[in-house]
Amino acid sequence: MTRVVVTGLGAVSPFGAGVKAFWEGLASARCAIEPLTLIETEGFRARIAAAVPAAAVDRLAASRRRSRADRFGLAAAAEAVEDAGLSRAELAGTALVVGAVGGGMLEAEAWYWARARGHGGPDGGAGLATVLPCAHADVIGRRLGLGGPRETVVMACSSGAAALAMAADLIESGAAPRAVAGGVDTITRVCYMGFNALRLLDPEPCRPFDRDRRGMTIGEGAAFLVLESYADARARGARIYAELAGHAMTTDAYHVTAPDPEGSGMIAAIRGALDRARLTPAAVDYANAHGTGTPQNDRIEARALARVFGEGRLLVSSNKSQIGHTMAAAGGLEAAATVLTLTQGVVPATVNLTSVDPEVPFDCVPRVPRAAPVHAAISNSFGFGGQNVTLAFTR
Partner 1 sequence: MASRVVVTGVGIVSGVCTGGAAAIGPVLESGRSAVGRVTAFPTDGLPSHLAAELPPGALAALVEPAEARRLSRVSQMTLAACRLAVDDANLGDLSDAHLIVGTEFGDLRSTEEFAAGYLRRGAGGLSPLAFPNTVMNTMAAASAIALGLHGSSVTVNARRVAGELAVGRGAALIAGGRATAVLAGGVDELSPLMFAVLARLAAISPRGGGEEGCRPFDRDASGPVRGEGATFLVLESLEAAAARGARALGEIRGAAWRSGARAAAIPPALEAAGLAPGDIGWIYGSAAGDPAQDAAALRSIRRVFGDAGPATTSLAPVAGEHAGLGAFGVAAATWTARAGRLPGIASLRRPRPAAREVAAGPGVHRVPVGPGLVHGVCRGGDDVALIVAPMGDAA
Q: Which residues are catalytic?
A: 157, 290, 325
Closer Cβ to partner 1, 17 or 187, answer by number: 187
Which residues does 293 contact at the CB level (< 8 Å), separation at least 6? 202, 206, 207, 208, 210, 213, 214, 215, 216, 217, 318, 320, 321, 325
Closer Cβ to partner 1, 185 or 298, answer by number: 185
Smallest gap from Cβ 150 to partner 1, in A, equals 3
The contact set with partner 1 (CB under 8 A) reads 43-44, 92, 96, 100-101, 109, 112-113, 116-117, 122-125, 128-129, 132-134, 137-138, 141-142, 145-156, 162, 166, 169, 172-173, 175, 189-191, 193-199, 249-257, 265, 268, 383-387
| CA distances (Å), origin 212, targets 165, 204, 207, 263 | 34, 11, 8, 21
Q: Cα dihedral sign for 48, 51, 56, 60? A: negative
Smallest gap from Cβ 373 to partner 1, in A, equals 32
Contact (Cβ atoms closer than 8 angstroms) between residue 49 and residue 193: no
Closer Cβ to partner 1, 193 or 346, answer by number: 193
Smallest gap from Cβ 124 to partner 1, in A, equals 5
Residue 381: which H helix or E strand, with range? Answer: strand 376-383
Contact (Cβ atoms closer than 8 angstroms) between residue 151 and residue 376: no
C-alpha span between 321 and 339 (Å, rounded):
18
Smallest gap from Cβ 29 to partner 1, in A, equals 32
Closer Cβ to partner 1, 142 or 367, answer by number: 142
Closer Cβ to partner 1, 17 or 36, answer by number: 36
C-alpha span between 361 and 379 (Å, rounded):
18
Smallest gap from Cβ 224 to partner 1, in A, equals 16
Q: How many CB atoms lie within 10 A of CB 231?
A: 11
